[in-house]
Structure 1
């Protein structure tokens, strides 16, 4: 599992995230803001409360989080196979 070590909210529904392997950068989450559970971000101050949960997800509260691995893939442009070479696909089981 890729471990995030720092996260902070930026303007425009963007976050800056850093991982223990040195990878860091900005992720734009504006495309999901206001949709489904992410509608909560429209409430004043909610988006700015981003933190790393004990489960190592990127979270805003106990009910609202995003997989840190998925954000790593988006940030680096790598595929699942690149990052997790020992992961077997369901077709190989």
Structure 2
């Protein structure tokens, strides 16, 4: 089982700096998803910055989300 996200920080260029419960920090690039369905709303930078940790994953107010597994496996180490 992959670790959970304990903290998220939105960065420039639609990236997220993630801090996991195992002590690792990684960066996840959201930009490949911005033209896919519900994720297109994330193109609004002020909305993108509203990301928060919910139940070990990340989520935006209108329920766009990425699971901890996706984030851990597809992120780049810092």
Class of the TM-score when normalised by the shorter of the 2 chains:
0.7 to 0.9
Q: TM-score w.r.t. structure 2 length? A: 0.83
Instruction: Report the equivalent of 1:24.
Output: 25
Aligned pairs for 1:5-20 within 5 A: 5-20=6-21
Check 1:71–1:44 CA distance in 2 against 1; reply closer, same or farther (3 A cut). closer
Deviation at 1:22, TM superposition (A): 1.1
The root-mean-square deviation of aligned C-alpha atoms, in Å, is 1.9
Greater Cα radius of gyration, structure 1 or 2? 1
User: Which 4+ stretches in 1 moved above 6 angstroms?
Assistant: none
Instruction: Report the equivalent of 1:84.
Output: none
Secondary structure of the structure 1 residue equivalent to 2:18: strand
Deviation at 1:62, TM superposition (A): 4.7
Deviation at 1:38, TM superposition (A): 0.6
Aligned pairs for 1:1-93 within 5 A: 1=1, 2-53=3-54, 55-75=55-75
Contact 2:15 2:27 in 1 (8 A): yes
Q: TM-score w.r.t. structure 1 length? A: 0.71
Whole-Å Cα distance in 2 between the matches of residues 5 and 40 of structure 1? 24
Report which structure shows greater RCO (CA 8 Å, sep ≥6): 2
